[in-house]
Amino acid sequence: MVRGYVLIETDVASAKSVGLELTSLSYAGTTIVSVDTVTGPFDVIMQIEATDLDTLGNSITDAIQSVDGVQRTTTCLAVRLTKE
């Protein structure tokens, strides 16, 4: 399982509609954990879990980036740091 945070920049005045559309987005092998409209340099932040890195990447390029109003995405992968 891979978890990613997708930081999304939208067209002006479209953050709300983009956020709403992303909450109902479906892509095989992925689960949308959360979608939040936020303030700051990004407009929407999504948390997604996927079966593997390729599935996560494809969900971003095939589904998220095709949503009307999405200008740019930045993805941050969650890592599990353990002490050895």
CATH number at 2-77: 3.30.70.920
The strand order across the sheet containing 44-50 reads 30-37, 44-50, 2-10, 70-77
What is the residue extent of each domain of the chain? 2-77
Quote the pTM value.
0.92
> Tens of pLDDT along 42-72?
999 999 999 999 999 999 999 999 999 999 9
- Nearest alpha-carbon partner for 3 in 37, 66, 53: 53
Q: Please name the helix (run of DSSP H) or strand (run of DSSP E) that holds residue 70, with its range, or none.
A: strand 70-77
Q: Is residue 44 classed exposed, middle or buried when 0-12, 13-18 and 19+ CB atoms within 10 A define those classes? A: buried
Structure tokens at 62: 């095939």
What whole-number distance in Å separates Cα of residue 56 and Cα of residue 83? 27
pLDDT in tens, 19-36: 999 999 999 999 999 999
